[in-house]
């Protein structure tokens, strides 16, 4: 049985963990899903690593980045930690991050978060369940998570 990890934070303003779990369950109904909630983004890499150590086949991490430069530096450190964890474990960690200053109002921010989590949760299932070539048919298609797809350049 496949096992997925979902890491989210209490700092987030949208319950992205519940969205990811719902999508993963719909895409891979027989899989086990383990949720791990941490305070903020700097705690995400160790949570992802622990889930992988506990047998998860892949993890989706759900971070929320504030507007300050300090928040952006914290995200950079988190991203580096997640990349290192992927390299050390040879397993996918799909890093889903919402930056509070991406859009100009809260309703758009919520919609962006829902869209981004939904699309990336599906990507994780495809990679874990279907293997490394599962996303190949979509290469070069200009797909976006959180925004409208822009399409390929002909």
Domain 3-138 in CATH: superfamily? Lumazine/riboflavin synthase (3.40.50.960)
Token digits for 17?
């963990």
Mind listing the pLDDT tens digit for each residue in 128-137? 999 999 999 9
- Domain range annotation of the chain: 3-138
Helix axes 44-53, 69-89, angle to 10 degrees: 20
Whole-Å CA distances, 59 to 12, 40, 65, 91, 103: 18, 17, 19, 8, 26
Q: Using CA atoms in the order 95, 101, 105, 108, what is the torsion angle rounded to 10 degrees?
A: -30
CA distance 107 to 113: 10
Instruction: Write out pLDDT tens, residues 20-70.
Output: 999 999 999 999 999 999 999 999 999 999 999 999 999 999 999 999 999
Please state, as a whole number, how many other Cβ atoms lie within 10 Å of the Cβ of residue 88.
Answer: 10
pLDDT (average), residues 4-10: 98
As a whole number of angstroms, the distance between CA 116 and CA 65 comes to 14
The pTM of this model reads 0.96
């Amino acid at each position: 049985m496949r096992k997925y990890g979902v890491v989210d934070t209490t700092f987030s303003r949208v319950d992205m963990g519940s969205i990811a779990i719902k999508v993963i369950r719909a895409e891979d109904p027989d899989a086990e899903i383990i949720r791990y909630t941490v305070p903020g983004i700097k705690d995400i890499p160790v949570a992802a690593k622990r889930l992988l150590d506990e047998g998860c086949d892949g993890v989706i991490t759900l971070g929320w980045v504030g507007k300050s430069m300090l928040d952006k530096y914290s995200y950079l450190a988190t991203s580096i930690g997640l990349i290192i964890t992927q390299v050390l474990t040879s397993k996918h960690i799909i890093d889903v991050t919402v930056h509070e200053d991406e859009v100009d109002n809260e309703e758009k921010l919520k919609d962006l978060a829902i869209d981004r989590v939904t699309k990336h949760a599906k990507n994780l299932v495809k990679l874990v369940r279907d293997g490394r070539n599962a996303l190949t048919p979509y290469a070069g298609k200009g797909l976006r998570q959180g925004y409208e797809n822009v399409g390929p350049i002909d």
